[in-house]
Amino acid sequence: MKRIVAHNQKIEIIEDEIPQIEGKPSYILVKTLYSVISPGTELTILSNSENKQVHLGYSAMGEVVECGSKITDVKKGDLVACYGAPYVHHDEYLLVPSTLYAKVPESVDPKEAALGGLGAIAIHALRIANLQFGETAVIVGLGVLGQLIAKIAHAAAYNVIAYDLHKSRVDMLQGESIKAYSTVEEMEEAIRIETKSRGADAVLLCAGGKRSPLTQECLKWIRNKGKAVIVGDVEPDFPRELMFAKEAELLISRAGGPGRYDHVYEKEAIDYPYEYVRWTEGRNVEEYIRLVKERRVDVQPFITEVIEFNQAPQEFEKLFNKESTTLTKLICFK
C-alpha cells in the first residue's frame, strides 16, 4: 500500500505492507476513501522531520474490508469515520481499534465523515470549558478547529463571539449568524455589550503560534472566575496578576477526549465504562457524526478542496511555503 510521510521537511509517498488483522480481534481493517489534512498540526510535524521519517494524518474515513472476531457493531462494506495516530494516517489501509471509529450512516457525506477526528477535538474542547446553556464563549483563532468549535457551540445555544485577524475566516461564520470579528476592538465591544461588561464565561484559544499576544490579553475578556481553555499549540504564558485578581481557571484541552494516548484504551481496544467516562474520544467521534447527520452543524465549507493522493506532496509544499491559506484539504484515495 501507499502512505504519505514527512522526511527532511519534504513530503514523500512510500510503499509499505498492508496491515494485518490477524491476532487483533477488536480491530477493523479499513480501505481509506478520504483523509483530512490538518495544516496546524501537520505543518509543525513537517517542520520537525529533519533526519527522520514521520507519518502524517489522524482523521479519515473509509470502507470496512475485514473485521476482527470481537467486532459486532460494523461489518464488511460499512463506512466508518476513524481518528487517532498511530492508527489513522494518510495511508491506503488503516488498522483501527474498536474504540477509535464510528459508523457512518448513508445520509452523511463521506467527505463530512472524514472530519470526524477534528470534530471530536472540537467537541472535547467545549466539554473541557464546561459551559452551561446560555453562557458566553469567545473563540479566538478561526482555523478549521476554531470554526468547528464556534459552529458546535452555536448549535448548543451558547452565546458565541469569535475572532480571527483574517476577514475571510470571519465571513465564513457571519453567514451563519454567529458574531465574528476581525479586529480585537470589535470583539471586545461585543463582549462588553453581550455580557453587560461582566466578561465572557470562557475564552477558547485556538490560535497557532507558541507565543501569542492574545494569551496575555484573553484574561481581560473573561469574568471573575472565568476560564481560559488552551486548544491550539499555545504556550500557557498568562499574567499572574490577572489570574489572581479574577481567580481565573486555566484549562488544557488534550486532543479528542478521554482515552487519547492511553495504551489500554487505544492499542488494547478496552473501552472505559460508559457510566463512569461518558464521553471518550470514540464517543466524541460518534457525536460529531450525529451532529452532521441531523444537520446541526454545516461542515460543507471545509470540504471544498479535494486533491488526489498523488498530488499530496505538491499541496503540502504550498501549505508549507504559505502559498495556500486554505483551512483544510481532503486527500482522495479512490
Residues 238 and 297 in one domain: no
- Between strands 79-83 and 59-67, the pairing is antiparallel
Residues 139 and 226 in one domain: yes
Residues 14 and 90 in one domain: yes
Residues 226 and 155 in one domain: yes
Using one digit for the tens of pLDDT, what is the confidence trace for 254-273? 999 999 999 999 999 999 99
Using one digit for the tens of pLDDT, what is the confidence trace for 24-71? 999 999 999 999 998 888 888 988 889 999 999 999 999 999 999 999
Q: How many domains does the chain have?
A: 2
When pLDDT is cut at 50, 70 and 90, the band that residue 297 belongs to is very high
> Which residues does residue 127 pair with via DSSP β-bridges, in sequence order?
none
- Between strands 179-181 and 159-163, the pairing is parallel
Residues 247 and 130 in one domain: yes
Lowest mean pLDDT among 9-13, 76-80, 208-212, 300-304: 208-212
Residues 304 and 215 in one domain: no
The 10 Å Cβ neighbour count of residue 260 is: 19
DSSP state letters, 118-174: HHHHHHHHHHHHTPPTT-EEEEE--SHHHHHHHHHHHHTT-EEEEE-S-HHHHHHHH
In the chain, DSSP finds a helix count (H) and a strand count (E) of: 11, 16
Using one digit for the tens of pLDDT, what is the confidence trace for 168-220? 999 999 778 899 999 999 999 999 999 999 999 999 999 866 666 777 788 99
Residues 97 and 34 in one domain: yes
Q: Give pLDDT, residue 176.
A: 82
Distance CA 222, CA 154 (A): 18
Residues 137 and 241 in one domain: yes
Domain end position, chosen among 230, 252, 274:
252
Using one digit for the tens of pLDDT, what is the confidence trace for 60-79? 999 999 999 999 999 999 99
CATH at 310? 3.90.180.10
Mean pLDDT of 285-297: 97
The mean predicted confidence, pLDDT, of the chain is 93
Residues 247 and 263 in one domain: no
Specify the amino acid at residue 72: T
120 part of a folded domain: no
Question: pTM for the complete prediction?
Answer: 0.95
| pLDDT > 90? residue 322 | no
36 part of a folded domain: yes
Q: Give pLDDT, residue 282.
A: 97
Q: Give pLDDT, residue 242.
A: 82
Domain end position, chosen among 190, 223, 252:
252
Domain end position, chosen among 252, 276, 301:
252
Q: Give pLDDT, residue 175.
A: 78
Q: Which domain holds residue 129?
A: 125-252
Q: Are 236 and 253 in contact (CB under 8 A)?
A: no
